[in-house]
Structure 1
Amino acid sequence: MKSFLTNIKDHFGSGKYEGDQYGGAQGHNGNGLPTGLPNNFMFATGIECSYPTIDNGKTRRDLLAECDHYNRYKEDLALVKEMGLKVLRYGLPYYKIQLGPNKYDWEFADAAMAEIQRLGITPILDLLHFGVPDFIGNFQNPELPVHFAAYCEAVAKRYPWVRFYTPINEIYVTAKLSAKDGIWNEQLKTDKSFVTALKHLVAASIMGTQQIANHRPDCIIVQSESAEFTHELRAEHTYEVQIWNKLRFASLDLLYARHPEGEVLNYLYDNGMTRREYDWFMAGEPPGYQIMGNDYYGRNEKIMLPDGTIQTSMDVMGWYNITHEYYLRYRKPVMHTETNVLDANEAPAWLWKQWVNILRMRKEGVPVLGFNWYSLIDQIDWDKGLARKEGTVNPCGLFDLDRKPRPVADAYKMLLQEYGQITIVPHGELFEITEAPATLKVEI
């Protein structure tokens, strides 16, 4: 008896069957530079734009200025296109734009946004990155949500073509470094000031998102939050370490209306959150399509030794394990929204390790929608958390401050060439991103 293969060969030929190129054995494997199609995985970079104050408010750290982006923004944006990237996390300098209630200066923002639009780059617009305008003061100001909501509305009206937003970058980190660690802005070191900053920031994000959605109902909100964890190597754990391992979820719990553990809720109540405020947060999550972005640097993950010494653990759990924990908690689509290392020679290996983490997450069926090497160009003084203005160059960019490529730029180009046309989720061609507003709010 003849094999069925013989009959197939007699009728259809030796293997390159007509029609098989449309998603069969002869279909496209996803390599090639990103096309920018709606179902493309979002490969991105970002331009570091932090602007907290230090020295009790006397010194403003503006990384856009310190890295010369204001003068070289066209050159920087051209580098994004040269890399073959279609997506850019981009932070407008909030403190320079909203000068007071109903008073704005759009000069730089208009120029930069026009160039982004001209180049066909999709911005994820970052609206508050570690600092506020002088007239607001700091994150202890209860008027922040109202002023920030007005700013978000003004941005959405001025740039109606923008769909992707990060209203407030790293809410937890912003509140902790400003109001508990005493490094930025109000430079306070109490639990009450931390909770005050936290609730003002989350409320500002919610109200800002509402204003964006009012003008762009199909907005996509990429909430960028730090993936934190401290391993305590002590036979008997301490309250301080364990509570902060729980408090790392507090910003997203309030933002996404998820009831936190009783210990965390008691902490919030003990440090100034009222029942009325808590009920307001739990009323429901913000509008728009929500993506949970997790930023992961090896230095986010720490080890506390038995003698109390804290050291960077660099990838014990890694982005995959920490983010998977966040995913199981919130069940939101995921993006790897920031990563780098401060050693240029180690950066290519770090890039590949992060990509392995993403592939592993995708294989388990978690919708990982994008990846961002942060940032496009080198940064200044992040080795000390911007706490002191010393001008130390951190060689973590795809390009140095002379705009010359670092080894990680070549590695990223190789990654893009190999994977640049994969879809947001496997078989994502089936699910084009709709332009319809997000309206369905269910947990089933």
Structure 2
Amino acid sequence: MHDPSPPGGATRPAVHAGIFPTFFLSGFECSTFIWKDQGRRDLVAETQHREHVDEDYAFLRSLGIAVARQGIPWPLVDKGGTYDFSGLDPFIAAMNRHQILPIWDLCHYGYPDDVDPFAPDFAERFSSYTKAAAEYVTPRIRGPHFFTPINEITFFAFMGGEWGWTAPFRKSDEDRRRLRLALCKADIAAVKAIREVDAQARMVHIDPLILVVAPRDRPDLKDEADHETFTDTFYAWDVIAGRRHPELGGSPEVLDIVGVNAYSFGQMEYRENGPHASLEPHDERIRPLGDLLTFAWERYRRPMIVGETSGLREGRPDWLCDIVEESLAAVRKGIDLHGVCLFPAVDMPDWHKGGWLHNGLCDLVEENGRLKRVPYQPYIDELRRWQKRLNRVTELDEDPFSDPVNLDDIKHAADTMQMSSDKNWH
């Protein structure tokens, strides 16, 4: 196994000790983008996570999940370079009460109104905010401390730089590339600023793991499709790891933990203009997720998690089964996998069309103006089945942080079940 110890010469843990207290993680949708013609959106408000935060974290505890991705809303806390983090206090109190370890998501697509990501001072503005955020949360939360400086840099650059969905509303390949590099520069600066506060802070760098293929009637587009699969997908991670643009200060220790997002729509047919078209189930061009995970592992040799994954509606249990089986197949091939994040914990709206996606561990049902949390039991039953097969807890014990995951258990389950990748996992 790859040494999972943090940067900075900390004491090496047991060889097969995981980074996190539980193998299954979760999280809450927290986008704060300016969306097309709708203005500033706050998905934490739209899902009423603030009002239900204690209930939401109690729910995760009851599921045996001790780690959750939780956003800090940069546009809402940054008042022109001064900060008000007091809105985080109810979240921190609930995390501490229910012993849930956060992965703080510091920029989930949104930035303050007075910020220009193309401006020369963007990285400095972002790193100042992230340092202040780290100063606020680290004394208030039991460690170790985890951060995602900028969520899905690659996807963010497409949404805001080429597709015009979100600010800065650009619509060219050149602007996408410029935005991507600006985000990478800011991310690296943020990692260094956070580690001035806590030298042992861990970073989880999250981006989609995708496959793009040429249309059957356009084999001439194979090079473009391959470039997106094998170059664009990894470009941001490459910069953060110091493999590209080393002048920005990236390194493997800055990259730290690689979080790959895996969704059914992540395998696509190339389109020359706009977002690509998702492959239909059973398309012969689909590649096994286990193979894609192994490719990412071999590129960086850093600890990994599945950073987000979820099925839709009645497909949620089957999707979870497929994801875990493919993850275990990749573990048998030697990847250093530390967890699978079932995201989101509670449902979220479709950004484009409105309406609930039904992709959470809980669905949301409006009841007298409040969004009632309704656990989707078949999904939870499938989670329980895998927790037992992997020798994981199904409910958190008195101190879930006392012992990290024993990765030997995960490897033993993968070997015992003789898991291998299946191209029909999709």
Q: 2:163 aligns with which of 181, 187, 196?
A: 181
Contact 1:94 1:128 in 2 (8 A): yes
Contact 1:302 1:314 in 2 (8 A): no
Report the secondary structure of 2:407's partner residue: coil
Paired AA for residue 296 in structure 1: A
| 1:394 matched to 2:357 | yes
1:258 & 1:41 partners in 2: Cα distance?
Answer: 31
Q: 1:417 aligns with which of 388, 409, 420?
A: 388
Deviations 1:167-226 (A, max 9, x none): 111110011111012211111111221122111111111111101111111111111111
| 1:155 matched to 2:118 | no
Change (3 A) 1:145 1:188: same
Q: Give the deviation of 1:238 after TM superposition.
A: 5.2
| 1:338 matched to 2:308 | yes
Change (3 A) 1:71 1:41: closer
Change (3 A) 1:125 1:42: farther
Contact 2:188 2:250 in 1 (8 A): no
**1:171 paired residue number:** 153
2:281 & 2:165 partners in 1: Cα distance?
Answer: 23
**1:243 paired residue number:** 227
Report the secondary structure of 2:258's partner residue: strand
**1:253 paired residue number:** 238
Contact 2:24 2:65 in 1 (8 A): yes
Structure 1 gap segments, 5+ residues each: 1-35, 260-277, 430-444
Paired AA for residue 221 in structure 2: H
1:427 & 1:217 partners in 2: Cα distance?
Answer: 30
Q: 2:54 aligns with which of 71, 74, 90?
A: 74
Contact 2:203 2:256 in 1 (8 A): yes
Q: 2:177 aligns with which of 172, 195, 213?
A: 195
Change (3 A) 1:289 1:183: closer
Q: Percent identity?
A: 25
Contact 1:225 1:293 in 2 (8 A): yes
Change (3 A) 1:427 1:85: closer
Contact 1:39 1:424 in 2 (8 A): no
Q: Give the deviation of 1:82 after TM superposition.
A: 1.6
| 1:310 matched to 2:295 | no
**1:114 paired residue number:** 93
Deviations 1:223-274 (A, max 9, x none): 1111022111333335543432322211111111114xxxxxxxxxxxxxxx
Contact 1:99 1:135 in 2 (8 A): no
1:326 & 1:214 partners in 2: Cα distance?
Answer: 29
Contact 1:301 1:313 in 2 (8 A): no
| Greater shift in the superposed pair: 418-427 or 330-339 | 418-427
- What is the TM-score normalised by the length of structure 2? 0.79
**2:25 paired residue number:** 44
Change (3 A) 1:92 1:314: farther
Q: Give the deviation of 1:425 after TM superposition.
A: 2.8
1:53 & 1:337 partners in 2: Cα distance?
Answer: 24
Q: Give the deviation of 1:428 after TM superposition.
A: 9.4
Contact 1:218 1:289 in 2 (8 A): no
| 1:374 matched to 2:359 | no
Change (3 A) 1:424 1:358: farther
**1:125 paired residue number:** 104
Q: Give the deviation of 1:305 after TM superposition.
A: 9.1
1:412 & 1:184 partners in 2: Cα distance?
Answer: 34
1:305 & 1:193 partners in 2: Cα distance?
Answer: 18
Contact 2:69 2:102 in 1 (8 A): yes
For this pair of structures, how many residues does the alignment match? Answer: 364
Q: Give the deviation of 1:314 after TM superposition.
A: 5.1
Contact 1:210 1:287 in 2 (8 A): no
**2:267 paired residue number:** 301
2:261 & 2:255 partners in 1: Cα distance?
Answer: 19
Contact 1:136 1:144 in 2 (8 A): yes
Contact 2:20 2:67 in 1 (8 A): no
**1:222 paired residue number:** 204
- What is the TM-score normalised by the length of structure 1? 0.76
Structure 2 gap segments, 5+ residues each: 1-16, 365-371, 394-403, 412-426
